[in-house]
Amino acid sequence: MKFCSNPASFLLVANFVLAADISEFVISPNSIAPLFDVDALPRSIPRRQKRSEICKVYPGDKNWPSDSEWSALNKTVGGALIKPVPRAAVCHSNWPQYYDPAKCTDLMANYNNHERRVADPTDLIYVYFQGLSCLPSTDPTTPCTTGGDPSYVVNVTTPEQISTVIKFAAKKKIRLIIKNTGHDTGGKSTGEGSLSIWTHNMKTIQWLPKYTTKYYTGPALKVGAGVSLDEFYQAADNHDVTVVGGECSTVGVAGGYSAGGGHSPVGGLFGMGADNIVELTAVLPNGTHITATTGSNPELFWAFRGGGGATFGVVTSITVKARPKIHVTISTWSFGTAANNITNSTFWQAARVYLEHVTTIADSGSQAFAQIRPATGGLTFSMTSFVAPNKTVAEYDTLMAPFFSKILTLGISVTQNTTFHPSFLGGWQRAFPKISQPWNPEKQVVASGSRLIPRKNFEQPKLFNQTFSTLQNIVDLGYGFIFYAQKNEAHAGVDNAINPAYRKSAVFLILSGSYPQNASAVEVNVVRDQVTKVIVPILKAVTPGSGTYMNEADIREEGWQQSFFGSNYARLLKLKKEVDPNSIFWAKTAVGSENWYIQNDHGLPEVGTGRLCRKL
């Protein structure tokens, strides 16, 4: 199965029911007591004031903006303010204005159509973060609440609107979030009681054949914040060039993708997504709209490229290098104990041969995206998509021949499906097709953890053996994993905040545990704790000092500051304090987020329901 068409590989869903109606969350001192010891605060501050000092203003609070204040904001932003309604309200009779059985049937048939999710003001690709508080159902009496969704959304199209919204949130001390496409495994694009800046409709695309600055001269593409990956790749193709973006079509290139660094099918050839940005525009926490390049606002320019999303402001556009047009070869294939009638031991010998080959694959500039999984009574290895940029089929065959001939001696004969595409766009469309799947209440879902595995782990014989045993051990414990073999070195002249661990890696690996969608919070935590506290640490033990890719990681990652940012953390934190001293922007695992937490007591801290408070 293809990665992008397999939401189970990231869709984190559980059917724990959250008491998420906003009225039930109006905070009382007692309800915050288990998480925050109010009585330990200095006695001289009256209780009410203490709360407002430590928490963002929340619906139901005395200081929550009045209807007329919302209305005034709406006028200022030209009528772009939306009071969001959950997408699945059409299935629930407690939303009489929206309940519509025919629309519900249509929603169920297209529940995992990712383009539709992206077009909704609040819906996410990973609905877990919304609290699963309004799911499709054939029983209209099942509850539907707004859960972890924002209170209001501004459908922005201009930097001026964004500036207005930021200033409003700052003045009213309410929680502010950014949603672009909602293709976000870090839960940054939702939050109960927040005001959301929805950048999806900032769709401008500008072709700049003669972009010229002191730092880069050549063709470039300037894209607005809301441009999605397929629009980005299509625009480049229209001008006979190649641009660096991600894998799945609903990734928002100028959003969290670039802010997190951005791995790419063509990254081995052209560098990572953020490496290709030559200029960007953004609205800062004080509402100022800036242009950042190597020469102008250089520190912010450095930080916006790798320092993480929802941290330093709202990026409104990026200008990226347009690379030469390339052809691409794509290959898919698999082998396994059942398909090839081999023992587990032979399977692992073949997997070992593959792992011995990953540095060669990485050095070729390719991205090999594969999976190793336990299967009924045995094991499978699938090459989900081998992307060989600027290679012919013959060149790809030469690259992989040593691997295939070695495993043939183990009795493993593989039928490959290899195709040549004259332009990258066609190859990408084959490798990462769009997703549309119906609602499936029976789906097994996953909790993921990840790690960047340094190149030296594949080069030093003793360390290689330890790495190999570790991967085998993880699978023996019942965990499948997906992994990219790829290099992501910094090209000459590139200086940005991308996690230094990325530069030294040859493999990025994501493993996952699974649980039924209707697992209770307690059951979900058993699976998540195992991933966070047992399995990921096994990988960390063989990759000390490395890290992971923040955009595809365990949201409960322990020591995320080091794992996601490495040695850049201190510098990023210093800048965060300068640019956003009042934490206008906050997101879990974002730089400077550690003194804040979401008050809720359902046991799932990453779910966006609850009041956002600062620990004193």
Ligand X SMILES: *[C@@H]1O[C@H](CO)[C@@H](O)[C@H](O)[C@H]1NC(C)=O
Site for ligand X, rule CB under 6 A: 74, 79, 81-83, 121, 155, 157, 201, 269, 284, 286, 288, 324, 326, 341, 344, 374, 377-379, 390, 417, 430, 441-442, 461-462, 465, 475-476, 516, 518, 578-579
Q: What angle do CA 275, 276, 279 make, to 5 degrees?
A: 105
Closest approach of Cβ 37 to ligand X, in Å?
A: 34
The smaller minimum CB distance to ligand X, of residues 138 and 288, is found at 288
Closest approach of Cβ 516 to ligand X, in Å?
A: 6
Q: Which of 87, 99, 97, 112 is nearest to 139 (CA)?
A: 99
Closest approach of Cβ 579 to ligand X, in Å?
A: 4
Closest approach of Cβ 157 to ligand X, in Å?
A: 5
Say if residues 155 and 80 touch (Cβ distance below 8 Å).
Answer: yes
Closest approach of Cβ 547 to ligand X, in Å?
A: 26
The smaller minimum CB distance to ligand X, of residues 127 and 475, is found at 475
Q: Dihedrals φ, ψ of 452, to 5°?
A: -90, 125
Closest approach of Cβ 275 to ligand X, in Å?
A: 15
The smaller minimum CB distance to ligand X, of residues 157 and 532, is found at 157
The smaller minimum CB distance to ligand X, of residues 83 and 533, is found at 83
Say if residues 606 and 129 touch (Cβ distance below 8 Å).
Answer: yes
Q: Dihedrals φ, ψ of 503, to 5°?
A: -65, -30
Q: Which of 589, 492, 573 is nearest to 303 (CA)?
A: 573
The smaller minimum CB distance to ligand X, of residues 223 and 553, is found at 223
Q: What angle do CA 451, 457, 461 make, to 5 degrees?
A: 155
The pair of three-digit structure tokens given for residue 535, joined into one six-digit string: 């399995």
Closest approach of Cβ 96 to ligand X, in Å?
A: 18
The smaller minimum CB distance to ligand X, of residues 72 and 109, is found at 72
The pair of three-digit structure tokens given for residue 538, joined into one six-digit string: 């096994």
**Coil/strand/helix, residue 261:** coil
Q: How far is CA 314 from CA 132, 153, 189, in A?
A: 27, 15, 12
Closest approach of Cβ 390 to ligand X, in Å?
A: 4
CA–CA separation, 441 vs 458, rounded Å?
A: 41
Q: Which residue is nearest to ligand X (CB)?
A: 79
DSSP 8-state class, residue 301? H
Say if residues 612 and 349 touch (Cβ distance below 8 Å).
Answer: no
The smaller minimum CB distance to ligand X, of residues 313 and 500, is found at 313
The smaller minimum CB distance to ligand X, of residues 25 and 347, is found at 347
Residues with Cβ < 8 Å from 383, sequence gap 6 or more? 331, 332, 333, 334, 368, 369, 370
CA–CA separation, 558 vs 529, rounded Å?
A: 11
The smaller minimum CB distance to ligand X, of residues 499 and 512, is found at 512
Q: How far is CA 113 from CA 4, 118, 134, 245, in A?
A: 11, 9, 17, 21
Closest approach of Cβ 551 to ligand X, in Å?
A: 25
The smaller minimum CB distance to ligand X, of residues 346 and 563, is found at 346
* Sequence letter at residue 211: Y
The smaller minimum CB distance to ligand X, of residues 106 and 578, is found at 578
Closest approach of Cβ 578 to ligand X, in Å?
A: 6
Q: How far is CA 106 from CA 15, 118, 119, in A?
A: 21, 17, 16
CA–CA separation, 364 vs 366, rounded Å?
A: 5
CB atoms within 10 A of CB 411: 12
The smaller minimum CB distance to ligand X, of residues 332 and 599, is found at 332
Q: How many helices (H) and strands (E) does the chain have?
A: 20, 20
Look at the chain and count its residues: 616
The pair of three-digit structure tokens given for residue 182, joined into one six-digit string: 């909602």
Closest approach of Cβ 576 to ligand X, in Å?
A: 10
The smaller minimum CB distance to ligand X, of residues 219 and 441, is found at 441
CA–CA separation, 140 vs 90, rounded Å?
A: 9
Closest approach of Cβ 591 to ligand X, in Å?
A: 15
Say if residues 116 and 175 touch (Cβ distance below 8 Å).
Answer: no
Give Dmax (Cα) for the chain.
Answer: 79
Closest approach of Cβ 287 to ligand X, in Å?
A: 7
Closest approach of Cβ 215 to ligand X, in Å?
A: 20
Q: Which of 303, 257, 164 is nearest to 292 (CA)?
A: 303
The smaller minimum CB distance to ligand X, of residues 50 and 430, is found at 430
CA–CA separation, 122 vs 124, rounded Å?
A: 6
